[in-house]
Amino acid sequence: MKFLPLIWSNLVRNKLRTALTSAAIALAVALVCLLLTMPGGLDRILNEIASNNRLVVLNKAGLVYPLPYSYLQKVRAMDGVVAAASWTWFGGVFREEKGVEFPNFAVEPDPIGVVWEDWGIAPEQLEAFRRYRDAAIVGRGTLDKQGWKIGDRIALKGTVYPVDLEFQIVGEIPDAQAPHLWFQREYLDQALRAAGRGGLETLGTIWVRVDDPDEVAPLLARIDAAFRNSEAETASETEKSYFANFFGALEGFVTVILIVTGLVALCIVFIAANTASMAVRERMGEIAVLKALGFSRRLVFATLFAEATLLSTLGGMLGAFAALGITAFLRQGVAGWSPALGPLGSFVVTNTILVQGLFLAFFVGMLSGVVPSFGAARRPVAETLREVF
Amino acid sequence: MFLPLRYPLANLAARRTRTALTVGVVALVVVATTLFSGLVSSLKETLVSTGHPRNLIVLRKGSTNDGSSSLPLEAFQALRYFEGVAREGGEPLASPELVVQPFFRTASGGRENVLVRGVEPVALRVHDEVELVEGRMFAPSSGEAIVGSGASGRYVGAQVGDVLEFGRGRWRVVGRFDAGGSSFESEVWVDARELANDAKRPVPYSGVRLRVADGADRDALARRIDADSRWALEAKPETEYYAKQAESANVFYLIVIGLAVLAGVGAAFGATNTLYAAVQARRAEIGTLRALGFPRIAILTSFLVEALAVALLGFALGAAIAAVLGRVVSQALGGIGFGAATFTTNVIQLRVGPSDLVLALGLALAIGLVGGFFPASRAARLRPVEALRKA
Amino acid sequence: MIEIRDVSRVYRRGADEVHALEGVSLSIGAGRFVALMGPSGSGKSTLLNLLAGLDRPSGGDVVVAGQRLNDLSEDELAGFRARHIGFVFQFFNLIPVLDAQRNVELPLLLTHLGRDERRARALTALRVVGLAERASHKPGELSGGEQQRVAIARAIVSDPEIIVADEPTGDLDAKNAVEILGLLRDLAREFGKTVVMVTHDPRGEAFVDEIHHLDKGVLRDSVPGGARP
């Protein structure tokens, strides 16, 4: 590494070019990181958040078909079930002109702490949720996006059910991507009765916690068998499978994103290669002198190569930081779960993505440095000296 | 007093590798932006092209979409005879409809929510952009269905002659329809009462679509419906209803703009680099031209032309690639699905259209101008004596 | 034709001041072929740049073809050069991507002549220097001597009164050097041009009418050259 000063001095020799190249690479890497947050957000849900120990029971015909509320008790009574809770889509809107901005559900307050233990909701908050009829627990993603905090009172207008409900936020789901709002099922039931609409007779989906992995498959079969040939047949699956299906339609979009990402990555290669070849071309003379002085071909090659790689990696680091900054800014208002994009819009730059971006820059630097460096290192000294002097 | 066009162009041709790399960068940026922009435009177009300007959609007050609404039968009976509703052959053009979103299996094994619309025969007359292109309309109470062209290509059993399984039943597909590229093409239509039965809906209709008579005031009719105290209803022009949904796609535009700006600036930097090097390498030449008497503006414009030429070449190459790539991707994926806020899947074909190309051209030119400006002015400001200096 | 009156030129190089020329006065008559000679750093190139309108004096007057150059703006100087001055450089300075004919045509683009007229004049100029049949060759395809002759054709194509040559033989072998010097002398003798040459080449002395010696920015002496009138 005694050549580091030499390599560095070459980079600062033409400050403008170095600055422009690293800025260009930084932008491209930032873009790659930003783009990757989209499938990244999806991946994260599918692989990290979705659990194999949580099962979901839904109407076989579709998500918008309800299940009788009695099913919940029946499921709870089955072997292997640690706890079960139901979700019923309320579809409330916060700002009427914006429509449904985040998913909101009526749930039972007692079992949720058990069924979603891995979501890390604070016990005092769960307690408050149980205690206050109009309590609501909101995911951090929505809290951030709407600028709410615990203690705020908010109101949602009903779209599916003809009632409007007011809540006080007593707790949060800590995950930065989480968009949900939960409130008490009883609350909706009472509101409907008060409006003369009867009570809440159905539920949307049942979520089941299972602790023994061996119980999963038999339990799924048992649940579906119990309701076969009834008015509402069920289709039970693990949470992982459910999300995979739910977001399946986004597959096409994700493909396009990945293609675009690949194109941008290729851009980086071109930019870096261009600069490297310009630099080498201009320094033909010096390279010949170095070789005449006795620097071996391999050494000349290595220093040129290191220069290109260093430049590219620096640009990559800048870009990665820029991506972090941009997403932090975006999450303040625009980003987050949206009906159109779902988890794709969360713009969370994970460590994986940062590493991918940096690695891309590093790898590209190497790749771009190879060809011009190779050519320069190989040229016979006399030829170069003759050409230059 | 300007330098001939041949000069900048010949210089580009002389430095083939460098020119090619820079053109490549611009082309890549153009492809990336155009593909994305095409995706968004296609989505928007599908959503915006839906709806007839003379149709009103009537839903229960407070429902943001058909799926969550329900309409009492008496309301429908009354609405049909409201003044202002168009008539054809003595019959009012009022289409009562039921919207349900069951699961469908896709050809690739996935599961999507599809909008199934239960309709009466009058629906074809109210939605006159819907046209059967294959087979025939379903017969009432016969377990038959017709499918939109978008849905037809995507789901298992959705071809004419096949059997579709959704909800609690099986439906024979007897026809396929087009709808001018609108979101109706992602739908499946069946008999309203059969659907209500299958979905166990106590009320067979979720809403009604009314055609406003020629010469009648559409908005006045809407207001009258809203104000009717017998039922809490809300009437809205169909086009407005779908346009609202198109708004949810606005977040995509943000992404497209962001992509264009970031990538564009990056490409501009790359172009700047290349051009600076060219200016440096041609110092003596520039000094000579100045000595000969060419004014600064001639040098400036000449280098700008170089930058713009690279940008335009990049655009041409990129646009061609994008058009082909878009088609290939779209075919391979069988259309691209978007789950909008309404819990349904809109199937769109990725199409690169004129507006996308205009955006890309603007981007390319901006890259050329921005990227070329500083080097070009540096070249123009070179003092002849210094440029000609032999050291 | 050219009047230099008490001219000085001072540069800033970092913190230092360099006095490239001090108190130089000379005059050059029309149709004369003169050489400016002197060691490195004597200011001869600086003086050449000043009388060619490429640079401004720090003090004194430069009057060329009746025009006081000090009075002109940057763009006006450019126009002046286009009309009155032709340039010949040591390293030829042809545009590598254009062929000989288009190189020679360049100065004509600054006039209002049409395409055919420009082409015709360029070919004429090439004929004068004996290279008409190489008109479509690019500089890369020509020898050093040929390139310099193309440069001279370029210098005369718009018929300027003055030709300024900075080390015109510096990059040529003996045979070509002599040819170029002869060509320059013919421009003065037969075409009546005022030719001012900066050179190290002692061979040049035999061709010129006058030699002005400079040393350390000052005009030392002026002697007649070896050219027979």
Q: Choose one of A171, A200, A232: the last residue of a domain.
A: A232
pTM for this prediction: 0.80
Using CA atoms, how far residue C39 sits from A369, C213, C220, in Å, is 45, 9, 12
Residue A156: inside a domain? yes
Please tell me which residue of chain A has the smallest CA distance to B62.
Answer: A159
**Of residues B167, B199, B338, nearest to A340 (C-beta):** B338
User: Does A266 sit within 8 Å of B266, measured CB to CB?
Assistant: no
Do the domain assignments include residue B306? yes
Residue with the bigger pLDDT between A223 and A382: it is A223
What pLDDT, on the 0 to 100 scale, is given for residue A385?
A: 58
Domains: count for chain B: 2
Rounded to 5 degrees, φ, ψ at B138 are -70, 155
In this structure, the answer to whether residues B198 and B133 fall within a common structural domain is yes
Token pair listed for A61: 């015909």
pLDDT for the residue numbered A357: 83
Query: Around Cβ A258, how many Cβ atoms within 10 Å?
Result: 14
Q: Do C110 and B1 touch (CB under 8 A)?
A: yes
In a domain, A14, yes or no: yes
pLDDT of residue C139: 93
Q: What is the pLDDT of residues C79-124, one digit of tens each?
A: 899 999 999 998 889 999 999 999 999 999 988 888 899 999 999 9
Give CA–CA dist B171/A65, Å, rounded: 18
Judged by average pLDDT, the poorest of A38-47, A227-236, A315-324, C75-84 is: A38-47
Query: What integer pLDDT is reported at residue A262 of this predicted model?
Result: 86
Check residue C111 and report its DSSP letter.
S
Answer yes or no: do A69 and A154 share one domain. yes
- Residue A275, amino acid: T
- Could you tell me the two tokens for C105? 């045509």
The count of C-alpha atoms lying within 13 angstroms of the C-alpha of A35, restricted to the half-sphere facing its C-beta, is 31
Q: Chain B: give the shortest CA distance to residue C54, in Å.
A: 6
Confidence of residue C16 (pLDDT cuts 50, 70, 90): confident
Report the SS3 class of residue C138. coil
The reply to whether B77 and B215 lie within a common domain is yes
- DSSP codes, A240-262: HHHHHHHTGGGHHHHHHHHHHHH
**Residue B284 to residue C91, Cβ atoms within 8 A:** yes
Residue C225 pLDDT class (50, 70, 90 cuts): confident
Q: Cα(A18)–Cα(A143) distance, rounded to whole angstroms? A: 42
Q: Which of A29-38, A371-380, B222-231, B336-345 has the largest mean confidence?
A: B222-231
Chain A residues touching B271 at Cβ < 8 A: none
Please say whether the beta carbons of A267 and B263 come within 8 A. yes
Please indicate whether chains A and C are in contact, defined as at least 3 beta carbon pairs under 8 Å.
Answer: no
CB contact under 8 A, C110 and B292: yes
> Which span out of A299-303, B201-205, B379-383 was modeled with the highest average pLDDT?
B379-383
The answer to the question of residue B107 being in a domain is yes
Instruction: Return the number of other C-beta atoms located less than 10 Å from residue B346's C-beta.
Output: 26
Picking from A312-321, A379-388, B376-385, which range would have the lowest pLDDT averaged per residue? Answer: A379-388
With a cut of 60, say whether residue A389 has pLDDT above it: no
What is the average pLDDT score of chain C? 90
A64 touches chain B (CB under 8 A): yes
What pLDDT was estimated at residue A379? 64
Q: Give the pLDDT confidence of B215-270 residue by residue, as tens digits.
A: 889 999 999 999 988 888 999 999 888 887 777 677 777 778 888 888 888 888 88
Contact A274 B60 (CB under 8 A): no
What pLDDT, in 10s, does the model give residues A193-229?
998 888 888 999 999 999 988 889 999 999 999 999 8
A237 near B CB under 8 A: no
Burial label for A228, CB within 10 Å (0-12, 13-18, 19+), is: exposed
Select from C77, C92, C103, C109 the residue whose CB has the most chain B CBs within 10 Å, as the one to mutate to test that interface.
C109
Structure tokens at A169: 């936020």
Helix pair B16-48, B6-14: axis angle to 10 deg: 100
Are C52 and C228 in contact by the 8 Å Cβ rule? The answer is no
C-alpha of A14 from chain center: 39
Query: Do B76 and B195 fall within a single domain?
Result: yes
Q: Are residues A198 and A287 in the same domain?
A: no
Chains that touch C (3 or more CB pairs under 8 A): B
Closest-approach residue (CA) in chain A for B332: A252
Tokens linked to C186: 């013919």
Looking at the structure, tell me whether residues A23 and A106 fall in a common domain.
Answer: no
Cβ contact B71:B58 at 8 Å = yes
Ordered by where they begin, the domains of chain C are 2-224 (3.40.50.300)
| CA A143/CA A151 separation, integer angstroms | 12
pLDDT average, residue stretch A120-136? 94
- B40 and B165 housed in the same domain: no
Please state the three-class secondary structure of chain B as a single string: CCCCCHHHHHHHHHCHHHHHHHHHHHHHHHHHHHHHHHHHHHHHHHHHCCCCCCEEEEEECCCCCHHHCCECHHHHHHHHCCCCECEECCEECEEEEEEECCEEEECCCCEEECCEEEECCCHHHHCCCCEEEEECCCCCCCCEEEEEHHHHCCECCCCCCCEEEECCEEEEEEEEEECCCCHHHHCEEEEHHHHHHHCCCCCCECEEEEEECCCCCHHHHHHHHHHCCCCCEEEEEHHHHHHHHHHCCHHHHHHHHHHHHHHHHHHHHHHHHHHHHHHHHCHHHHHHHHHHCCCHHHHHHHHHHHHHHHHHHHHHHHHHHHHHHHHHHHHHHCCEEEECCCCCEEEECCCCCHHHHHHHHHHHHHHHHHHHHHHHHHHHHCCHHHHHCCC
Within a 10 A sphere around the Cβ of A8, how many other Cβ atoms? 12
Q: How confident is the model at residue A387 (pLDDT cuts 50, 70, 90)?
A: low
**Number of domains, chain A:** 2
Domain-located, residue A29 = yes
Highest mean pLDDT: which range of A180-184, A263-267, B385-389? A180-184
- List A residues 95-114 in contact with B (Cβ-Cβ < 8 A): 99-100
Cα B242 from Cα B231, distance rounded (Å): 23
Do residues A225 and A264 share a domain? no
Average pLDDT over residues A118-141: 93
Neighbouring chains of A at 3+ CB pairs under 8 Å are: B
Cβ of B111 within 8 Å of Cβ of A251? The answer is no
- CA dihedral defined by C120, C125, C131, C136, rounded to 10 degrees? -40
Residue A116 lies in a domain: yes
Any domain includes B237: no
Banded pLDDT at B368 (limits 50, 70, 90): very high
> pLDDT confidence of B190, banded at 50, 70, 90?
very high
> A309 and A215 share a domain?
no
CB contact under 8 A, C87 and B288: yes
DSSP labels, A305-338:
HHHHHHHHHHHHHHHHHHHHHHHHHHTTTT-S-B
Q: Could you tell me if A202 and A274 lie in one domain?
A: no
DSSP A93: B
**B218 lies in the same domain as B273:** no
B72 part of a folded domain: yes
Q: Are residues A209 and A306 both part of a single domain?
A: no
Same domain flag for B187 and B263: no
Give the DSSP letter string of A28-77: HHHHHHHHHHHHHHHHIIIIIIS-SSEEEEEETT-TTS-EETHHHHHHHT
Residues A110 and A77 in one domain: yes
Classify residue B236: in a domain, yes or no. Answer: no
Closest-CA residue of chain B to A248: B110
Residue B81, token pair as written in the block: 């005879």
Q: Which chain C residues have a beta carbon less than 8 Å from that of B299?
A: none
Whether residues B70 and B41 share a domain: the answer is no
| Residue B243 lies inside a defined structural domain of this protein | no
Q: Which of B172, B198, B231 is the last residue of a domain?
A: B231
CB contact under 8 A, B273 and A275: yes
Q: B274 and chain A: CB distance < 8 Å anywhere? A: yes
The total number of residues written for chain B in this structure: 391
B181 and B130 in a common domain: yes
Q: Please, which pLDDT band fits residue B391 given cuts at 50, 70 and 90?
A: very low
Q: Do A160 and B60 touch (CB under 8 A)?
A: no
Size of interface B-C (CB pairs under 8 A): 69
E strands in chain C: 2-13, 16-28, 33-37, 59-64, 67-68, 85-89, 162-166, 194-198, 210-215, 218-224
* Residue A244 falls inside a structural domain: no
Asked if residue A218 is part of any domain, the answer here is: yes
Give yes or no for residue A96 having a pLDDT over 80. no
| More confidently predicted of C36 and A9 | C36
- B173 pLDDT above the threshold of 60: yes
Co-location of A256 and A384 in the same domain: yes
Question: Are residues A222 and A301 both part of a single domain?
Answer: no
In a domain, B219, yes or no: yes
Q: Which residues of C touch B (CB under 8 A)?
A: 49, 52, 54-55, 74-75, 78-83, 85, 87, 89-91, 93, 95-98, 102, 106-107, 109-110, 154
CA A325 to chain centre: 16
Q: Which of B35, B63, B273 sits opposite A20 (nearest CB)?
A: B273
Residue A259 identity: I
Q: What is the pLDDT of residue A257?
A: 83
B216 and B93 in a common domain: yes
Does residue A53 fall inside a structural domain?
A: no
Q: Are residues A65 and A42 in the same domain?
A: no
Examine the domain organization and report whether B21 and B114 are in the same domain.
no
Determine the Cα–Cα distance for residues B34 and B38; give it in Å rounded to an integer: 6
Same domain, A143 and A276: no
Alpha-carbon distance A42 to A57, whole Å? 22
Q: Is the pLDDT of residue A350 over 50?
A: yes
Query: The tokens of A289 are what?
Result: 């002198």
> Which of C49, C95, C110 minimises the CB distance to B293?
C110
Across the interface, do C98 and B6 touch by the CB < 8 Å criterion?
A: yes
Alpha-carbon gap, residue A238 to B268, rounded angstroms = 49
Same domain assignment for residues B109 and B134:
yes
pLDDT of residue C125: 93
Question: Looking at the domain assignment, is residue A237 inside a domain?
Answer: no
Full residue range of the structural domain in which residue A112 is found? 61-232
**Chains B and C share 3 or more Cβ pairs within 8 Å:** yes
pLDDT score, position A133? 94
Does B121 reside within a domain?
A: yes
Residues B198 and B310 in one domain: no
Q: Is A106's pLDDT higher than 50? A: yes
Residues C53-72 have pLDDT tens digits of: 898 898 899 999 888 998 88
Domain residues for the domain of B207 are: 62-231
Predicted local distance difference test score (pLDDT) of residue B164: 93
Answer left, alpha or beta for residue C2, where phi above 0 means left and psi between -120 and 50 means alpha: beta
Neighbours of A6 (CB within 10 A): 12
